[in-house]
């Protein structure tokens, strides 16, 4: 067994030096400052006590540093996964209750087991079956639902719901009970964070701060909002005026816990855990690949599954919640100069110190501030203009994207992502079941062949060259049969039909039977069936089959060779 394959830490740790350590420690300090409010906020978004977010940012970071392949990915609670966690647990227990927390722990463990198993089975390619429009639509809709769900904290009212419709209805019914101090805290924090995101960096640069420092200071602005509003809430005793605070947070490191052994609960959470695993993996790999490309590095998707699996198992066994690689914190980690995954381990130590020593101060943190932090963070997830771009390019992809958005907004995140997966697979099967094919002819004076409907080419009435632009498998085998026989029916003068196969990378058993049927039916019609440009791996599989032993025609290395052999002097220009 290659240990470096399963323990990527062995690839970089032997050469780890003081310069890298310094860069990683600087990045870790910056990421830790950012992670503290984010972790608290995303735990509340998931309906969990705030300290659960801190727990989910300690052991997972350390384990990912051992098993992950990205040098700069930062693992922890993220907005979309937190929302999916809340949606999965809401039907099972009251938010924040011990049963609810136990469910979150189990959800992380199940997700960790699934991800680890998928990694060991090298199933990283499965993420490719989720089309980008579907993922984009799901994340945009989730961002809208997340932002809407946090308005209750901004206004200081009781509201609930798992989709935009129920959340909106609940907010309208309770808006009359809005708490003025909470509104002032929440809107003030929201406006400051929006200003910091859009205006603070240019302002700092004009003041003489270098661009990198200005960028880092801008991204750590939430900690300033946390400090100011916590001090205000403490000094003015805003809890006595109806402002909801985070409240008492247990100090000390999390104890190792065992997940529930209730098999019924495992079954209830299995589907949600699978969806969380898939969405988390897609988000994490997308971020990891983007950042790795900037430094001409690469990540291993299969090992990333194991890294994320280990992180989720660590979260579950330390009393945390499901985690994945986060976009904003990973970008900050990258921009701050992190060189290796050790930066994540150092950040884990920073979160551990905060859990040990800062929890008394966190008790006075207004929930409205955390809600503002979440709302501003998820604005970057919402990309509604993508609908217009997708509509212009592909109506089918637009339909899948729109369906995902509408179901997520109007029903639930599970319904949205499930519809997205089904529609992605459905579109793939539909497109490949009716592959593009074209009758091609020779471009005069060359060895090139092009579609007769697009180019002026040379043709021979007795010979037809049919190019098929897709691998052949069970879903399109019948379509190919119908296409070939329709050509033969329309051309009574046809003597030879050449199937041109430059795009055929695979022929399965069903398609093989269809090719054999085509060969026999063309024989009965007095037409010889030929193949050209068959790729080596495909040819290897065809050797020894009934198709080759009974083939009516020949197999040609190139279409031009078939043209020279079969057309003789019957060439005429296409109409």
pLDDT at 571 over 80: no
pLDDT band at 574 (very low <50, low <70, confident <90, very high): very low
pLDDT at 211: 82
pLDDT band at 575 (very low <50, low <70, confident <90, very high): very low
- Return the CA Rg of the chain: 30
Which uninterrupted H or E stretch holds 423? Answer: helix 413-433
Averaged pLDDT score across all residues of the chain: 89
pLDDT at 497: 96
pLDDT at 421 over 50: yes
Choose the most confident range, by mean pLDDT, from 22-36, 148-162, 514-528: 514-528
Residue spans of beta strands (DSSP E) within 328-448 = 437-442
Tell me the C-alpha distance between 73 and 333, whole Å. Answer: 7
Which uninterrupted H or E stretch holds 61? Answer: helix 59-67
User: Is residue 499 a contact partner of residue 468, using CB atoms and an 8 Å limit?
Assistant: yes
Six token digits for residue 131: 């089309």
Tell me the C-alpha distance between 5 and 113, whole Å. Answer: 19
User: Is residue 135 a contact partner of residue 325, using CB atoms and an 8 Å limit?
Assistant: no
- All domains of the chain, ordered by start, with CATH? 3-427 (no CATH), 437-573 (3.30.750.24)
Per-residue model confidence as pLDDT tens digits over 24-34: 998 888 888 87
> In this structure, are strands 496-500 and 528-532 parallel, antiparallel, or unpaired?
parallel
Backbone angles phi, psi at 459, to 5 degrees: -130, 160
Tell me the C-alpha distance between 189 and 195, whole Å. Answer: 10
Per-residue model confidence as pLDDT tens digits over 92-138: 999 889 999 999 999 999 999 999 999 999 888 877 767 788 888 88
Per-residue model confidence as pLDDT tens digits over 385-394: 989 999 999 8
Mean of pLDDT values over 433-450:
93
pLDDT at 564 over 90: yes
Tell me the C-alpha distance between 230 and 235, whole Å. Answer: 9
Tell me the C-alpha distance between 160 and 176, whole Å. Answer: 15
Per-residue model confidence as pLDDT tens digits over 198-226: 898 898 888 888 887 887 778 778 888 98
- For tokens 């392949």, name the residue: 69
Which among 515, 88, 116 has a CA at the least distance from the CA of 275?
A: 88
Residues above pLDDT 70, as percent of the chain: 98
Within 10 Å of residue 184's Cβ, how many Cβ atoms?
Answer: 14
Six token digits for residue 155: 């206004």
Mean of pLDDT values over 158-168:
87
Tell me the C-alpha distance between 190 and 375, whole Å. Answer: 8
Which residues neighbour 400 within 8 Å (Cβ) at sequence distance 6 or greater? 131, 133, 134, 137, 420, 423, 424, 427
pLDDT band at 473 (very low <50, low <70, confident <90, very high): very high
Mean of pLDDT values over 60-82:
92
Which among 270, 311, 313, 301 has a CA at the least distance from the CA of 414?
A: 270
pLDDT at 341 over 50: yes
Per-residue model confidence as pLDDT tens digits over 371-380: 898 888 888 7
pLDDT band at 569 (very low <50, low <70, confident <90, very high): low
Tell me the C-alpha distance between 485 and 491, whole Å. Answer: 10
CA distances from 43 to 53, 84, 230, 305 (A): 5, 12, 18, 23
pLDDT at 556 over 90: yes
pLDDT at 328 over 80: no
Range with the poorest average pLDDT among 139-153, 443-457, 520-534: 139-153
SS (H, E, C) 138-173: HHHHHHHHHHHHCHHHHHCCCCCCCCHHHHHHHHHH
pLDDT at 107: 96
pLDDT at 1: 52
pLDDT at 255: 85
Tell me the C-alpha distance between 284 and 324, whole Å. Answer: 6
CA distances from 292 to 35, 299, 300 (A): 21, 7, 11
Within 10 Å of residue 175's Cβ, how many Cβ atoms?
Answer: 13
Local structure of 325: helix, strand or coil: strand
Which among 506, 494, 425 has a CA at the least distance from the CA of 468?
A: 506
Per-residue model confidence as pLDDT tens digits over 237-281: 999 999 999 888 888 888 888 898 889 999 999 999 999 998 899
């Amino acid at each position: 067994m290659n240990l470096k394959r399963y323990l990527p830490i062995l690839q970089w740790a032997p050469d780890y030096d003081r310069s890298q350590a310094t860069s990683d420690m600087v990045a870790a300090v910056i990421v830790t400052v950012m992670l503290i409010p984010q972790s608290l906020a995303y735990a509340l978004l998931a309906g969990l006590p705030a300290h659960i977010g801190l727990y989910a940012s300690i052991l997972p970071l350390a384990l990912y540093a051992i098993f992950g392949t990205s040098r700069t990915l930062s693992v922890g609670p993220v907005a979309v996964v937190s929302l999916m966690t809340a949606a999965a647990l809401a039907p099972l227990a009251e938010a924040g209750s011990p049963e609810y927390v136990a469910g979150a722990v189990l959800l992380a463990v199940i997700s960790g087991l699934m991800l680890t198993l998928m990694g060991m089975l090298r199933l990283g390619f499965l993420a490719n079956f989720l089309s980008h429009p579907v993922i984009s639509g799901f994340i945009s809709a989730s961002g809208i639902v997340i932002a809407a769900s946090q308005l209750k904290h901004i206004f200081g009212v009781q509201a609930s719901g798992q989709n935009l419709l129920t959340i909106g209805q609940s907010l309208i019914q309770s808006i009359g009970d809005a708490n003025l101090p909470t509104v002032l805290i929440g809107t003030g924090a929201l406006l400051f964070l929006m200003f910091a995101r859009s205006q603070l960096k240019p302002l700092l640069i004009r003041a003489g701060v270098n661009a990198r420092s200005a960028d880092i200071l801008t991204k750590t602005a939430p900690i300033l909002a946390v400090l100011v509003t916590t001090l205000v809430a403490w000094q003015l005793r805003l809890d006595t005026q109806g402002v909801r605070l985070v409240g008492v947070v247990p100090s000390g490191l999390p104890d190792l816990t065992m997940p529930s052994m209730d098999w019924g609960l495992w079954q209830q959470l299995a589907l949600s855990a699978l969806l969380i695993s898939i969405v988390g993996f897609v988000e994490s790999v997308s971020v990891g690949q983007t950042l790795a490309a900037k430094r001409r590095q690469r990540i291993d998707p299969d090992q990333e599954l194991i890294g994320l699996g280990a992180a989720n198992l660590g979260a579950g066994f330390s009393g945390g919640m499901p985690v994945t690689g986060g976009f904003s914190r990973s970008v900050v980690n990258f921009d701050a100069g992190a060189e290796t995954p050790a930066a994540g381990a150092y950040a884990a130590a920073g979160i551990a110190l905060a859990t040990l020593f800062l929890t008394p101060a966190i008790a006075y943190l207004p929930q409205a501030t955390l809600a503002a932090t979440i709302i501003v963070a998820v604005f970057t997830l919402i990309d509604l203009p993508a609908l217009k771009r997708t509509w212009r390019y592909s109506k089918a992809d637009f339909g899948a994207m729109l369906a995902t958005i509408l179901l997520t907004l109007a029903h639930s995140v599970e319904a949205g992502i499930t519809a997205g997966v089904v529609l992605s697979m459905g579109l793939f099967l539909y497109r490949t079941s009716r592959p593009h094919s074209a009758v091609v002819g020779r471009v005069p004076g060359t060895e090139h062949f092009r579609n007769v409907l697009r180019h002026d080419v040379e043709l021979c009435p007795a010979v037809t060259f049919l190019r098929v632009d897709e691998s052949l498998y069970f879903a399109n085998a019948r379509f190919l049969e119908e296409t070939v026989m329709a050509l033969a029916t329309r051309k009574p003068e046809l003597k030879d039909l050449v199937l041109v196969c430059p795009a055929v990378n695979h022929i399965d058993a069903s398609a093989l039977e269809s090719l054999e049927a085509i060969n026999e039916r063309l024989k009965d019609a007095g037409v010889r069936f030929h193949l050209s440009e068959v790729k080596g791996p495909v040819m290897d599989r065809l050797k020894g089959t009934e198709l080759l032993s009974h083939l009516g025609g020949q197999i040609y290395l190139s279409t031009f060779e078939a043209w020279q052999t079969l057309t003789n002097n019957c060439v005429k220009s296409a109409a």
